[in-house]
A = this chain, B = another copy of it.
């Protein structure tokens, strides 16, 4: 498979508006890497409370002085025009122009990413520096865009497991000429699926969805309602290339098994990572999966710097022309890929732990004794874990109860399993004495 960073270099500057030729080209390029099903939903198609919008194309867009000096040009950067801008050609006063000319709120040198999918307006985007230099009374605006029937496309890669219960990964491919948001999530997800395909069969079916933000998830879910009850958990992937540790956002159901499992596993994978509740780090397509009538516990993994409450943007170059390959690294992409694989590994092994033993285990007899004097922490943990193996708790439940990493609990449980002291069950199997 092409290296993740090479794929990014190849695709990042494409005009990946939500329904657009650029988006389609990028998706079919990815399908060359890993075969996928491409679902198509035509313009106007009802998707629960939504409708699929039209395909949008920008043929030309620029701003000129009246004497023909070109100040802003879409040919130079796809962000110079509002995504889904109406066409507009004409002379406008400086005052009117400024109402349609968007700049970045914090970065004077950056061109912002602005979209108005449903507001029907025209607009250009530029840097604060260029905007400040506009002193003429009037300017020439040329925006040649077209709206036509097309199809929203969702790429789906499935790695079937023993069970048709599935765990969903998702990332969004839209956002023209941007990288970290969310080409990084796409390429990381692609490599994860690649690895799953080539490794031993799994218990769960894994499903990776590459989609345009929000409407893509709604389109897919509304056309696959029969799958929803089989979706036992999920993880949205985004912003995985910038220079920050991982951040894990919980689902709407904070006590779900995916929340407990991935939550307890992450700290051992990335000790600098942080975790926070649903909707407190970054909002994206996981919202559609967690929403009423769906209620799939989908978490979100990113490298967002700090919770929303900090007031900081997810990363400094967010939604701007500064979100380029420069801010991501192959090393971080690989670390994120490995983190996702490790989280899925935890998920795969998260089962109910059923005791074959009664009372405390004769540890010396099974060669699993940990001496209290030389390793008090290990001794205590061994016993704390063993005494919770009662068929009512998963490994994630035990780890959460003890505030220890999933991996620590899993390691002890594996040892017990190897010794025939416990067995693992997908369903609860209480072993309380009848009475």
Instruction: Give A353-366 as 1s and 0s: 1 = Cβ < 8 Å from B's Cβ atoms.
Output: 00101111110111
Chain B residues near A390: list those with CB within 8 A.
292-293, 295
- Report A206-252 residues with CB < 8 Å from chain B CB: 214, 217-218, 221-222, 225, 228-230, 252
A252 CB, min distance to chain B CBs, angstroms: 7
- Report A372-423 residues with CB < 8 Å from chain B CB: 383-384, 386-390, 421
Given contacts A49-B366, A49-B421, contact A293 B358 (CB under 8 A): yes
- Is A435 part of the contact surface with B, judged by Cβ < 8 Å? yes
B230 touches A293 (CB 8 A): no
* Option from B48, B359, B431 in Cβ contact (under 8 Å) with A48: B359
Question: Could you tell me the distance between the alpha carbons of A286 and B252 in the complex, rounded to whole angstroms?
Answer: 38
Chain B residues near A288: list those with CB within 8 A.
359-360
- Is A92 part of the contact surface with B, judged by Cβ < 8 Å? no
The chain B residue sitting closest to A165, CB to CB, is B435
Query: Which of A119, A290, A360 has the most B CB atoms < 10 Å from its CB?
Result: A360
B48 touches A357 (CB 8 A): yes
A36 CB, min distance to chain B CBs, angstroms: 23
B287 touches A230 (CB 8 A): no
Question: Could you tell me the distance between the alpha carbons of A229 and B358 in the complex, rounded to whole angstroms?
Answer: 13
- Is A50 part of the contact surface with B, judged by Cβ < 8 Å? yes
Question: Could you tell me the distance between the alpha carbons of A432 and B295 in the complex, rounded to whole angstroms?
Answer: 7
- Is A1 part of the contact surface with B, judged by Cβ < 8 Å? no
* Option from B221, B287, B292, B364 in Cβ contact (under 8 Å) with A389: B292
- Is A291 part of the contact surface with B, judged by Cβ < 8 Å? yes
A362 touches B228 (CB 8 A): no
B50 touches A365 (CB 8 A): yes
A166 CB, min distance to chain B CBs, angstroms: 12
Instruction: Give A100-142 as 1s and 0s: 1 = Cβ < 8 Å from B's Cβ atoms.
Output: 0000000000000000011100000000000000000000000
* Option from B118, B366, B431 in Cβ contact (under 8 Å) with A364: B118
- Is A200 part of the contact surface with B, judged by Cβ < 8 Å? no
Question: Could you tell me the distance between the alpha carbons of A51 and B364 in the complex, rounded to whole angstroms?
Answer: 11
- Is A433 part of the contact surface with B, judged by Cβ < 8 Å? yes
Question: Could you tell me the distance between the alpha carbons of A66 and B320 in the complex, rounded to whole angstroms?
Answer: 87
- Is A294 part of the contact surface with B, judged by Cβ < 8 Å? yes
Question: Could you tell me the distance between the alpha carbons of A295 and B225 in the complex, rounded to whole angstroms?
Answer: 43
Chain B residues near A51: list those with CB within 8 A.
362, 365
B365 touches A118 (CB 8 A): yes
Chain A residues packing against B (C-beta within 8 Å):
48-51, 117-119, 214, 217-218, 221-222, 225, 228-230, 252, 279, 287-288, 290-295, 355, 357-362, 364-366, 369, 383-384, 386-390, 421, 431-435
The contact sample of 25 A-B pairs, CB cut-off 8 A, is A48-B362, A49-B357, A49-B359, A49-B362, A50-B362, A51-B365, A118-B364, A214-B360, A217-B359, A218-B360, A228-B433, A229-B434, A229-B435, A230-B435, A279-B383, A279-B384, A287-B387, A288-B360, A291-B358, A292-B359, A293-B357, A293-B390, A293-B432, A294-B358, A295-B432
